[in-house]
Structures are given as C-alpha cells and as structure tokens.
C-alpha cells in the first residue's frame, strides 16, 4: 500500500520575502527636457529626495481560477494513453498543475499535451519511492489566453494497471511576460513524503521548506495505489479527490488541497484522512 505526498508553493510574480510593499526613492535623472529631480524612480535609496517616496502594494497570494471546470480529473482505461476532458479557465494568464499517479514504477510519463497550455519540458517532480508499487509525477504548465473545454492527453511509456490525473489552474502567480518562474524561490521545493509499508494508520503529509514570499499559495498533492477518499488537512481546502484502486479499477487515488498564507513560513502539510498501512 502506498501513500505519496508532494507539496509545492506558487508565489506572486517577483516575490518579496519580508514585506508586500516595495518603496521607490526619487533620484536625480533626466526625463525629457527636465534634468535634476525629475521623478526618476530607483530601487536604491540615494541622497536625493529620500524623504519623498512612492510605495507599490504587491498584492495578495494567488487564487484558484474562478471557472468551475478549472479542476478536472481523468483515469486510464486501456493502452498507454488517456485524456482529461473539458478543462476551462476564466483567467487568461494561469499556472496549471497536472498530477499523475501510475501503478508501476518502471512506467514514466511524457509531458502532457493540451491546446493552449505550454507545459514545462520536464516534470517539476517525479516521486517513485523504493518499496512502493506506484509513482507520482507533477507537471507545471502556463497559459496566455482563456481555455474552453480543452482536452489533455496523458502519454505513458507502457501500459499500467492503473493511472489517474488531476489538472488544476491557479491565477495570480504567472508573470504575463513569461520572464519569472511562478514558484517560490526557496531552495527545496517541491517537498515530498511517502509511506510504503507498516501497519499504523497515518495521515499523508510532507513538510515544506520555509517560504521566501509572504503571500504564497501552498498546494498539497496526494496519491495512493489503493482506493482512498482523502479529506483536507487543517487549514487547507480540498479541491479534488479521486478514489479508485489501481489493482482493481481504472485509476489510482488522487487528491489536491491548498491554502493561502500571509507570512513566510514552513508548513507540515497533511491531508485529513489516515490510511492503515498493511
């Protein structure tokens, strides 16, 4: 029996570690016909007009895309491909996560294929713990326009005995120019946890790295090779859950939860329902 957990964090573009206000100081510059103190903004405090500042409020943490179909699931039936259908977004510029659980550690996953989503060339995280019978992969994608009922194709390197995928969209993390990675820059993300044996009843969890940005969205992903209906951990909101055993049905159990934070912190990110390891 398997528990897998991945914790990722997305932050505001150009995240600021300790505050959400960036102060600009007026410095000497030439703007058009003006020279001297011409409202030229610089991020370094100088000797010119340092008592006059302008502050820019960065804003709050990312949020779920408002579209009801911005979180969708799909499960394997046969062959080495399957689909997640009817994925839609309300916001044009979103960060997309696709989480796949596959029964079979030797089976790997190519990048998903979705019209309108540019998926990263390599997976953000691939978790295949020793002693487990299943693996879990996290992909990150990016959009620049709204999506309407698009289909994502999942392609595996072989035929599994079960596989499921969840896709979910978050708004407010992407840089519209595509220059900045939407993830918090703290070293160590994504964090993972797993339990492949033992008879104790355990809530799936992973401990995150301390974030650098005050206003982050912390996202937890869960996978299980058995049929498991997960619930949200304390302080988290459950977004999606799939409960199908890899060994007896078309897919593997999955769940996604998230929470917004307003200060830099490290979290123990559990789900709410324990599983008995046998």
How confident is the model over 126-136, as pLDDT tens digits? 888 877 778 88
pLDDT at 57 over 80: no
Residue 143 near residue 96, CB atoms below 8 Å? yes
Please say whether the dihedral angle defined by the alpha carbons of residues 62, 66, 70 and 71, taken in this order, is positive or negative.
positive
Q: Which pLDDT value is given to residue 248?
A: 63
pLDDT of residue 35: 66
What confidence category does residue 268 fall into, taking pLDDT thresholds of 50, 70 and 90? confident
The secondary structure of residue 182, as a DSSP letter, is S
CA 35 to chain centre: 47
18 pLDDT higher than 60:
no
Q: What is the pLDDT of residues 100-119, one digit of tens each?
A: 988 877 788 899 999 999 99
Q: Sorting pLDDT into bands at 50, 70 and 90, what band is 12? A: low
The span from the CA of 156 to the CA of 247, in Å, is 17
Residue 21's pLDDT is what? 45
Residue 1 has pLDDT above 50, yes or no: no
Q: What is the pTM of this model?
A: 0.79
Q: What is the pLDDT of residue 36?
A: 64
What mean pLDDT value characterizes the chain? 80
Q: Is the confidence at residue 59, as pLDDT, over 70? A: no
Greater model confidence, 43 or 75: 75
| Residues in Cβ contact with 264 at an 8 Å cutoff, skipping those fewer than 6 apart | 17, 18, 210, 211, 212, 213, 214
Q: Give the per-residue pLDDT at 146.
A: 97
Instruction: State the DSSP code for 80.
Output: T
37: pLDDT strictly greater than 80: no
Q: Quote the pLDDT of residue 53.
A: 53
């Amino acid at each position: 029996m398997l528990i897998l957990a991945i914790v990722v964090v997305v932050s505001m573009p150009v995240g600021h570690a300790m505050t959400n206000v960036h102060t600009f100081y007026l410095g000497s510059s030439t703007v058009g016909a003006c020279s001297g103190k011409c409202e030229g903004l610089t991020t370094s405090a100088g000797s010119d007009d340092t008592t006059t500042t302008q502050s820019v409020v960065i804003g709050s943490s990312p949020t779920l895309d408002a579209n009801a179909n911005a979180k969708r699931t799909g499960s394997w039936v046969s062959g080495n491909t399957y689909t997640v259908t009817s994925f839609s977004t309300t916001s044009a510029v979103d960060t997309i996560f696709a989480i796949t659980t596959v029964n079979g550690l030797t089976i790997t996953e190519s990048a998903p294929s979705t019209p309108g989503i540019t998926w990263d060339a390599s997976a953000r995280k691939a978790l295949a713990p020793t002693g487990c019978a299943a693996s879990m992969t996290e992909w990150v994608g990016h959009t620049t326009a709204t999506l309407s009922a698009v289909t994502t194709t999942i392609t595996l390197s072989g035929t599994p005995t079960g596989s499921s995928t969840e896709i979910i969209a978050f708004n407010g993390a992407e840089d519209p120019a595509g220059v900045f990675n939407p993830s918090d820059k703290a070293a160590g993300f994504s964090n993972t946890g797993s339990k492949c044996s033992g008879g104790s009843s355990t809530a799936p969890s992973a401990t995150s790295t301390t974030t650098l940005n005050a206003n982050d969205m912390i996202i937890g992903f869960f996978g299980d090779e058995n049929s498991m209906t997960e619930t949200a951990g304390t302080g988290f909101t459950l977004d999606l859950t799939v409960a199908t055993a890899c060994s007896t049905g078309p897919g593997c159990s999955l769940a996604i939860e998230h929470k917004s934070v307003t200060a830099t912190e490290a979290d123990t990110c559990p789900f709410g329902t324990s599983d008995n390891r046998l």
